[in-house]
Amino acid sequence: MSDLVIVESPAKANTIKKYLGRGYKVAASMGHVRDLPKSRMGVDIEHGFAPKYIPIRGKADLINSLKKEAKASTHVYLATDPDREGEAISWHLANLLKIDVDKSLRVTFNEITKNAVKEGIKHPRTIDVNLVDAQQARRILDRIVGYELSPFLWRKIRPGLSAGRVQSVCVRLIVDREQEIAAFTAEEYWTIDAQLLAKGTKKPFAARFYGNAGGKIEIKTKEQADAILSALSGAAFTVSGVKKSVRRRSPAPPFTTSTLQQEASKRLNFQSKRTMQIAQQLYEGVELKGMGAVGLITYMRTDSLRIADEAQKDALSFIKDTYGGEFMPEAPRVYKSRQGAQDAHEAIRPSMPALSPEKIKESLTSDQFRLYKLIWERFTASQMANQLLDTVAADISAGDYLFKATGSTVKFAGFAVLYEEALESAQGSKAEKADNDLNRPLPELQQGDALVSKVTEASQHFTQPPARYTEASLIKSLEENGIGRPSTYAPTITTILQRNYVEREGRQLKPTALGEVTTKLMKEHFADVVDVEFTANMEGDLDRIEAGEKNWVSTLGEFYEVFEKTLKAAEEELGDVHLKVPDEQTDIICELCGRNMVIKTGRYGKFLACPGYPECKNTKPIAKETGGLCPVCGGKVLQKRSKNGKTYFGCENHPKCGFMTWDEPLSEPCPQCGSTLFKKRGGVLHCLKEGCGWVKAKE
């Protein structure tokens, strides 16, 4: 008889099987095997919040197969992921397979490498009941909020709506930001910049007006700016002071779940869901040429910055061999995790630091390579020496006024030779361009040097409203406010987008009318549910349950006592009131009755509808211009949605012109005939102009 190891996914099973070899059978549970029923609450609130778990629909054959395998095995090891969800899955498996939960059968791996897997199997432990209780508490808490609050929203706003403990707070953050933007009043301000030429140089450098001997002067109006420019007319510019220094820049720490999602959003334009899917693949194992299945990164759900000593030594050895001893830090780096972070797992790092991205590129998909490269470079750079910058700050006198110029040059690249943290994309303005000019290297300057003024000009600016959230900045805010856990960020954002509380506008997240109406109702009647501090405190309670410091049943009882009263009061206060979600009016005229059509949201997304319903029942899909031209008649190619929600492309002259395609039109023209090119889903480019036939295979 052999031993049975149960993991969550087939990919992970394949990788572990390779390391364990003969004598072991590795099976996959395909995620959770039991859960609360979908059709009812499934929680006995009156009897200690007892959950009524049932096997997940469609998994009967899998469960029977696992039971059969377990019965035929000498030992059963439960090797699901090393977090709350993984612990709960192991607990459910033990119950379904009738295995004693007090036995040492739980195995965890922070990384799926040969040593880690073999060590894990050698040292099994009992199931951590505190972890299971924390997961149960979260699941039941979310079920209570969802199943009792959602029907309330159906009655008061619209059928089919849902509420969630974390998702409602997430929507509130986005709605509150939109209200801040709407309430923002721009204030005028001016800057004065001089382009100056030092003796013996031909390239001018920039200096910005600062003030006078009395201190900094804020320029608020054009009249004030013009008066200063007038006073500067003909003034001699002289260097009145120079300060030189060396600035040290430290590398960013290795990734946590939150920072990985943020950086992948900014640098790779990955949505958080996509980032986590690819990271899961890298963790569970990828088939590498000449090596077989290899787990490439450590566990990707973590908020710790801790690094194993062995991994750090491997990284330092790689740095020394590749870049030289000067790129090693004076002492091995230790990063401090944020307060409240869980330290069960390491930071996200490559499982084998010497395995550089280029060595395995041909074995990875494009997305896997890009994310692995990001993780590998961030980790390796985090163990490298500081960057050194020679900085110069010059004071420049002009009449009674003072200008300042700053510049820097790289003295030693350090970690920046490999990786620098990405910034949120700026909105772009003259002020930002001028700021960039101010940080360019300065010529050699000495106190008393006379400078030649090439141009001195004033620029008008206005203060900018706070920016809308992007996925990156929203995840950062969720983490800073203690809302949710690393594993919840991606699914929460996916949920609020799918349920039409929020929509994307480019990379920004914008609340819909539905999101605004729902949040207003929640703030007025369920203040605790959408309160950031309350939600963070509840997250802290779940952490205390996990640590064995708090009882999960009493925690749920404390929450439900207040929640039930709040729900009852809201029902009484609102009575028969029904809140209307305002429609977004367009300038598209209904061809049947002449009214301006409005945008509505249905099962498959947004569509145009006549507001005259039921007298006029005209509806049509929302068409978006693609920039492409129809290869049949030359009309505009529009992006449309089919009745089942699939995207396709068709001619604006439909139905006169019947052209439609599933292939995406591109901006580049066909090199053979000049018509619009189209891209197939497999990446092949081709021209659809009759008689052309140009095709380019995917590179």
Q: Are residues 479 and 452 in the same domain?
A: no
Residue 575 region, left (φ>0) first, then alpha (ψ -120 to 50), else beta? left
Q: Does 611 reside within a domain?
A: no
Same domain, residue pair 641 and 689 = yes
Q: Are strands 450-462 and 188-197 parallel, antiparallel or unpaired?
A: antiparallel
Domain boundary among the residues 537, 558, 574 is at 574
How far from 242 is each of 239, 405, 407, 452, CA to CA, in Å?
7, 10, 11, 17
Burial class of 356 by CB neighbour count within 10 A (0 to 12, 13 to 18, 19+): middle
- Residue 586 belongs to a domain: no
pLDDT at position 478, please? Answer: 94
One domain, residues 146 and 96? no
Using CA atoms, how far apart are residues 510 and 174, in angstroms rounded to an integer?
A: 7
Helices and strands in the chain, H and E counts: 18, 30
Residue 603 in any domain: the answer is: no
Which pLDDT value is given to residue 7? 95
Co-location of 349 and 244 in the same domain: no
**What pLDDT is stored for residue 644 in this prediction?**
65
Output the domain CATH number for residue 295.
Answer: 1.10.290.10
The reply to whether 500 and 557 lie within a common domain is yes
Is 325 a member of any domain?
yes
**Start-to-end C-alpha separation, the chain:** 49
**127, 161, 196: which is the final residue of a domain?**
127
27 and 55 share one domain: yes
Q: What is the pTM of this model?
A: 0.83
Q: Which residue, of 426, 447, 462, is where some domain finishes?
A: 462
User: Does 43 fall in a domain?
Assistant: yes
CA distances (Å), origin 476, targets 84, 255, 258, 424, 484 = 22, 13, 7, 12, 12
What span, in angstroms and rounded, lies between the C-alpha atoms of 390 and 438?
Answer: 15
Kindly state whether residues 150 and 121 are assigned to the same domain: no
Structural domains in the chain (count): 5
For residue 6, the Cα-to-chain-centroid distance in whole angstroms is 31
Candidate list 53, 77, 299, 560, residue with the active-site label? 299
Residue 601 forms part of a structural domain? no
CATH classification at residue 531: 1.10.460.10
| Cβ atoms < 10 Å from Cβ of 406 | 16
340 and 261, same structural domain? yes
Domain identity same for 277 and 172:
no
Residues 440 and 523 in one domain: no
> Collapsing DSSP states into helix, strand and coil, what is residue 408?
strand
Domain of 233: which CATH number?
2.70.20.10
Domain match, 378 and 428 both: no
From CA 512, how far away is CA 500, in angstroms rounded?
7
10-residue stretch averages of pLDDT, the chain, 699 residues long: 92 91 93 94 95 95 96 95 93 95 92 91 95 96 94 92 92 97 96 95 95 95 97 95 96 95 93 95 93 92 91 95 95 84 80 94 95 97 96 96 95 94 56 58 95 94 95 94 89 92 91 95 94 93 95 96 95 92 86 89 78 89 86 90 77 86 90 91 88 80
Q: What is the pLDDT of residue 653?
A: 85
Residues 6+ apart with CB under 8 A from 634: none
100: domain CATH number is 3.40.50.140
How are strands ordered across the β-sheet holding 3-7? 24-28, 3-7, 76-78
Q: Which domain holds residue 439?
A: 188-250+387-462
Comparing CA positions, the residue from 663, 618, 606 lying closest to residue 637 is 663
Kindly state whether residues 78 and 26 are assigned to the same domain: yes
| Domain annotation covers residue 608 | no
Q: How far apart are CA 269 and CA 470, in angstroms?
A: 11
- Pure H helices in 446-587: 471-480, 489-498, 513-525, 532-546, 552-574
Alpha carbon distance 542, 70 (integer Å): 32
Q: Please confirm, yes or no, whether 210 is among the known catalytic residues.
A: no
Helix axes 532-546, 552-574, angle to 10 degrees: 160
- List C-alpha distances in Å: 553 to 48, 384, 444: 6, 48, 71
Backbone angles phi, psi at 541, to 5 degrees: -65, -40
Strands 3-7 and 76-78: parallel
**H or E stretch at 144:** helix 129-156
Q: Is residue 285 part of a domain?
A: yes
Residues in a beta bridge with 19: none
